[in-house]
Amino acid sequence: LTGMQPWEQISAESGFPEAFRYNGWNGAAQIAAAGEVITLPVVVLICLMAQPRLQYAVAKDGLLPKLFCEVDETGNLLKGTIVSGIGLVLVATFVPFQYIDDLISAGILVAFNITDSAV
């Protein structure tokens, strides 16, 4: 972004689309804005899908209640999925979106740092 516009003018809410508009690339700004709108729900969906499996692994190690280790007759982690879903609904209902967005960004940053440190 700093190569596209001065760093003092970078928008905290919509960085790439505003930088494209600053350079007169309105088509690229529309594509970047659409990409942001499309990818955020996908990230949330992927987190929702992975959470019961992560809880299952941690519960098998004994760090979470055995409730999260229970698998139904079709091989699904139904109780873990329900608990995760209820937790995510509560967070989405009562926590402002900006905080959720910042937490997702911080979580990804921590994950990248841990991965890079391990390499």
Q: For residue range 2-30, list pLDDT tens digits in order.
A: 788 887 887 777 888 888 888 899 999 99
CA–CA dist 15, 105 (Å, integer): 14
Out of 38-42, 53-57, 77-81, pick the least confident.
38-42
Looking at the domain assignment, is residue 75 inside a domain? yes
The token pair at 57 is 């692994």
**Total tally of structural domains belonging to the chain:** 1
Looking at the domain assignment, is residue 106 inside a domain? yes
pLDDT exceeds cutoff 70 at 77? yes
81 φ, ψ (degrees, to nearest 5): -65, -40
Can you tell me the mean pLDDT for 24-48? 87
pTM score, whole prediction: 0.60
75: left (phi over 0), alpha (psi -120 to 50) or beta: left
59 φ, ψ (degrees, to nearest 5): -70, -35
Q: What is the largest CA-CA distance in the chain?
A: 58
Domain around 20: 7-118
Looking at the domain assignment, is residue 1 inside a domain? no
pLDDT exceeds cutoff 90 at 34? yes
Looking at the domain assignment, is residue 21 inside a domain? yes
pLDDT exceeds cutoff 70 at 82? yes
Give CA separation, 110 vs 16, 33, 66, in Å: 22, 25, 28
Can you tell me the mean pLDDT for 83-96? 90
Taking residue 20's Cβ as centre, other Cβ atoms within 10 Å add up to 21
The pLDDT value recorded for residue 1 is: 63
Looking at the domain assignment, is residue 66 inside a domain? yes
